[in-house]
Every structure is written in structure tokens, then in C-alpha cells.
């Protein structure tokens, strides 16, 4: 008899490894925000080795939207530098499979899709700096309201590499005018998680025509004493991968992240060995 499915609230206090075991067993397939406090969570890009060098070059040239925190061996589903016994085929709650640029499957296990030529690239995510901002008393309105952060296609051109390029996707979070400098300084300390803001104030400056109409996520009110602050977003590499129309690539489903054993404030994202 299979174990019953678990809810987000059931998972409070569990370690990263315990959570991955539950996810691997198929007992949890929802979002990972707030789980395994203090541990790094990762965006995921899995692609054929033939494109991996170009993708790593792309990430190196666009470190704010694409901060690389782990890279697998070719064909090896394990990620030992990020955590104990991570099997990338099973340890993420929900995946998206793209073929020639089309989303063809959303699944909770990619064992049947796995190929010997796939390379996993793990990328830092915004949960890390959001946690640091909240700890410093800078509230995140979208989290308070249990909404998805608003995301926008910006006009900021990415530095291309091979088939990868396009425009940066950015998130917006309203910050009280007198905390904007703190928000900049605090997030700058997390280069592995998008780093400092890429802009603030007038949305037209970053190519956003209407803050109330995000391309993904839900709009968030900006009050009179607040400034809209823009950060590079981890949806960027997913978009770029999809636009490159590779024969196959796999990402996590938005919000359904890989939970690593690495501390989110570690100086490097490589576990001591």
C-alpha cells in the first residue's frame, strides 16, 4: 500500500535530505518555498552535452539571471557537490520536458526521459535573497499574500552564446524607500542567487510597459512610500532554453525546486568533501 501524499504543512522542520526522500518516493509534488530553512534551493536546466558548453558560456556571461551552483557529469544523475545522494531524475517535485521548444510533458519523475548524454546545470534561485531580506525586516508582499512574484520580460539584452540569448526576465518587489539601499546591499551578498537588483524605479527604464500586467505571476501593489525594485529572474534560463528549441531539455516546474544540502549563505556552493 503506497504511503499517503503529504501537504506542505506536513513538511515543516524536515531536513533537505528527508524532503528529497519524500519527494523521491512520490509523496510530495508541490512547491518548495519555505521548506528546509537555510538551505539553497535551485533552478534546474537539464540539456544534451552537445549544448552544455554553450549553455555554461551563456551562464558565465549572464551571471545575474543564471548563477551556476552545480554541474553534473554527462549522463550521471547525481549531484554530489550539492547534496548527499541527490538523484536529479526523482528528487525534484515536478519537472517540465521540452522538445524542440514545445512543452510536451509535466511530470514528477524523469527516469523514463533520462538519456546518457544529459548534463544537469543547477542555478541559484531568489528564495535565498528573499529569506535574507525578510530576516532583515524587509517584507516580501507576494509571500505575505501567498502569491507568485510578478515576472516581466524586460528589454535588457542577454549576452549570447551559441543558440542561447534573448532578453532578461526580471521580478519586481516593492521596497520601502528608506530600505532600498539595505535591500541592494543585502542581496548583493548573494551572487549565487541573482545578486543585487538590476534596476529600480521607473519600469519603462527596464522595458516594462505596465507593472500591473506581469508576463508570469501575479501583480503586486506598490505603495506611495515604496519603490519597485527589479531583480534578475531564474525564469530567464528556462525561457532561453525553450527559445533555443533543443531536441530535448528539462527544467523544474516553477516554484518546484531542487533542495540542496548546501547552506544558502555558504561562501561557495560546493559541499566540503
**Considering the rule CB under 8 A, would residue 241 count as an interface residue with its own copies?**
no
CB nearer its own copies, residue 28 or residue 129: 129
Q: Please choose, from the candidates 249, 243, 126, 231, the residue with its C-alpha nearest in 3D space to the C-alpha of residue 169.
A: 231
Using CB under 8 A, pick the residue from 41, 43, 62, 239 that binds its own copies. 62
- Alpha-carbon span 104 to 101, nearest angstrom: 9
**Considering the rule CB under 8 A, would residue 159 count as an interface residue with its own copies?**
yes
Q: Please choose, from the candidates 140, 113, 136, the residue with its C-alpha nearest in 3D space to the C-alpha of residue 126.
A: 140
SS3 40: strand
Using CB under 8 A, pick the residue from 15, 111, 147, 268 that binds its own copies. 268
Helix axes 49-61, 235-243, angle to 10 degrees: 130
- Alpha-carbon span 123 to 273, nearest angstrom: 21
Using CB under 8 A, pick the residue from 73, 181, 202, 210 that binds its own copies. 73
Cβ pair 49, 242 in contact under 8 A = no
**Considering the rule CB under 8 A, would residue 104 count as an interface residue with its own copies?**
no
Chain centroid to Cα 174, Å, comes to 20
**Applying CB under 8 A, which part among 1-9, 54-62, 85-93, 105-113 lies near its own copies?**
54-62
**Considering the rule CB under 8 A, would residue 53 count as an interface residue with its own copies?**
yes
The CB-of-191 to its own copies minimum distance in angstroms stands at 6
Q: Mark residues 180-219: x for contact with its own copies by CB under 8 A, - for none.
A: --------x--x---xx-----------------------
**Applying CB under 8 A, which part among 86-94, 140-148, 157-165, 240-248 lies near its own copies?**
157-165
Q: What angle do CA 76, 73, 247 make, to 5 degrees?
A: 75
Using CB under 8 A, pick the residue from 49, 87, 215, 226 that binds its own copies. 49
**Considering the rule CB under 8 A, would residue 83 count as an interface residue with its own copies?**
no
**Considering the rule CB under 8 A, would residue 157 count as an interface residue with its own copies?**
yes
C-alpha cell at 8: 506542505
Number of C-beta neighbours around residue 73 at 10 A? 12
- Alpha-carbon span 250 to 248, nearest angstrom: 7
**Considering the rule CB under 8 A, would residue 244 count as an interface residue with its own copies?**
no
The residues of the shown chain that bind its own copies, judged by CB under 8 A, are 49, 52-53, 56-57, 60-64, 68, 70-71, 73-74, 81, 119, 157, 159, 161, 188, 191, 195-196, 267-270, 273
Amino acid at each position: 500500500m503506497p504511503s499517503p501524499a503529504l501537504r506542505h504543512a506536513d513538511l515543516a522542520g524536515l531536513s533537505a535530505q528527508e524532503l528529497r526522500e519524500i519527494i523521491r518516493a512520490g509523496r510530495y509534488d508541490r512547491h518548495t518555498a519555505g521548506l528546509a530553512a537555510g538551505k539553497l534551493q535551485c533552478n534546474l536546466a537539464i540539456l544534451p552535452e552537445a549544448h552544455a558548453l554553450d549553455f555554461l558560456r551563456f551562464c558565465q556571461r549572464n551571471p545575474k539571471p543564471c548563477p551556476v551552483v552545480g554541474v553534473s557529469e554527462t549522463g550521471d544523475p547525481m549531484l554530489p557537490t550539492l547534496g548527499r545522494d541527490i538523484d536529479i531524475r526523482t528528487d525534484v517535485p515536478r519537472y517540465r520536458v521540452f522538445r524542440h521548444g514545445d512543452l510536451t510533458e509535466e511530470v514528477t519523475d524523469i527516469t523514463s526521459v533520462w538519456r546518457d548524454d544529459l548534463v544537469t546545470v543547477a542555478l541559484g534561485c531568489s528564495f535565498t535573497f528573499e529569506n535574507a531580506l525578510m530576516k532583515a525586516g524587509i517584507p516580501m508582499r507576494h509571500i505575505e499574500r501567498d502569491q507568485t512574484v510578478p515576472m516581466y520580460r524586460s528589454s535588457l539584452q542577454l549576452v549570447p552564446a551559441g543558440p542561447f540569448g534573448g532578453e532578461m526576465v526580471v521580478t519586481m518587489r516593492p521596497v520601502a524607500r528608506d530600505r532600498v539601499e539595505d535591500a541592494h546591499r543585502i542581496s548583493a551578498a548573494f551572487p549565487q542567487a541573482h545578486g543585487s537588483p538590476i534596476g529600480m524605479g521607473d519600469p519603462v527604464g527596464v522595458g516594462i510597459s505596465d507593472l500591473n500586467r506581469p508576463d508570469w505571476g501575479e501583480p503586486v501593489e506598490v505603495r506611495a512610500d515604496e519603490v519597485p525594485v527589479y531583480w534578475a529572474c531564474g525564469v530567464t534560463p528556462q525561457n532561453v532554453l525553450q527559445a533555443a528549441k533543443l531536441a530535448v531539455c528539462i527544467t523544474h516546474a516553477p516554484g518546484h525546486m531542487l533542495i540542496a544540502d548546501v547552506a544558502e549563505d555558504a561562501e561557495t556552493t560546493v559541499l566540503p568533501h
